[in-house]
Amino acid sequence: MKMTQRIVAGLVAGMFATSLLAAPGAHGPNGEHLDGQATASVGGLARLPDGSVNVPKLAQRRMGVRTLMVKEGEFARSVALNGRASIDPNAGGRVQAPFAGQITPGPNGLPVAGQRVVKGQVLARLRPTGAAIERGNQAAELAELRANKTLLAKRVTRLKSLEGVVPAKEIEAAQAELTSTIGQERAVAGSISGSEAIVAPASGIIASASVLNGQIVESRDVLFEIVDPQRMVIEALSTDAGIARKISTATLVDVPDVKLSLLGGGRTLRDGAVPINFRASGTNLDLAVGQPVTVLAKLDTKVKGIALPAAALARNPANETVVWIKSGAQRFIALPVEANALDARTVIVTKGLTPDNRVVVIGTSLINQIR
């Protein structure tokens, strides 16, 4: 009798352990059942010999594990494009030196990166500089113009005193020559000792400032870059010249709250790819000029698959992309899958996972670390 009771107790314990390890419904991509593949009964947190893991209910609650019964559907096909943030030409600007000269502060001093400016604001003043011989020639020309101006002024005064005797056209010619000489004198004097105001071409934030007080700059040197923090351009690259016609919407992977509007695609190859431009807008774009970004573009073509949160994906020791499905109360099995990004937070699994599996969507990384 005692022997019989022991046998029955052993059978009951075995059935109870098996029910913890497996439950109906877990199956692989080809429909095969995955419930009976465990080769050992483990009561605690551990990875089983077949690669699955055993996670007791208490541990699942502490880890915050959440699962989702998945369904198949049709979704827009998406592609990831490498891009770079740049200044919107209609909302920002680049300030360059019109000629070689020396930088002097404006009325409010020299602006620095991060400072807000308004269109037309004087950012700096540029005093022209030149070689010693050139400056000497200009000084000699200025002295000659000033001497001629004095003589012409006296001649005009003398002719006006003889008005009625001297023809009027002679007086007018002398007056015009004096006016021309005065203008030439001002121009030459300005090129020697004057300065030109460098103004902001647009309102925005100083993205970069490359000037110091007293600095000598050459013609076309970039002095300032101004960017509107609410409007920028994202330039992405693609090897498909016709992809711009297929894009319906686009987002940034790292900055999902930014709104992207397609401007169009170029027709000139650059490093084997064509540029596709998007206008980025938002209340506060956390983007810097030249910052590399990843554009996730949705196309107007459809693909069948299973939508999952991006956090549901993990990597196994073979560096394969996997999802963890729940098989039973405590057992979780990793399935290698192929997935594409749908947006910044969602992926589409196209291979390796079938509907009606319960997939771990929260706590995936913690389960994946169990050894």
Answer yes or no: same fold for 19-77+302-368 and 79-90+228-300: no
The fold adopted by the segment(s) 79-90+228-300 is Elongation Factor Tu (Ef-tu); domain 3 (2.40.30)
Phi and psi of 367, rounded to 5°?
-65, -35
The whole-number pLDDT of residue 301 equals 85
Q: Does domain 19-77+302-368 have CATH number 2.40.420.20?
A: yes
pLDDT exceeds cutoff 60 at 11: no
Encode pLDDT of 236-288 as tens digits.
Answer: 999 888 888 889 888 888 787 788 999 999 888 888 899 999 999 877 778 88
The whole-number pLDDT of residue 128 equals 82
Q: Which residues pair with 33 in a beta bridge?
A: 27
Write down the pTM of the prediction: 0.62
- Specify the range with the lowest mean pLDDT, choosing from 66-80, 93-107, 162-176: 162-176
pLDDT exceeds cutoff 50 at 306: yes
Encode pLDDT of 52-84 as tens digits.
Answer: 899 999 999 999 999 999 898 888 888 889 999
Domain boundary assignment for the chain? 19-77+302-368, 79-90+228-300, 93-225
Which amino acid appears at position 222 of this protein? V
287: CB partners within 8 A, 6+ apart: 85, 232, 255, 258, 280, 293
Encode pLDDT of 112-160 as tens digits.
Answer: 999 999 999 999 999 887 655 666 677 777 788 888 888 888 888 888 8
DSSP codes, 147-177: HHHHHHHHHHHHHHHTBTTB-HHHHHHHHHH
Q: Into which CATH architecture does domain 93-225 fall? A: Beta Barrel (2.40)
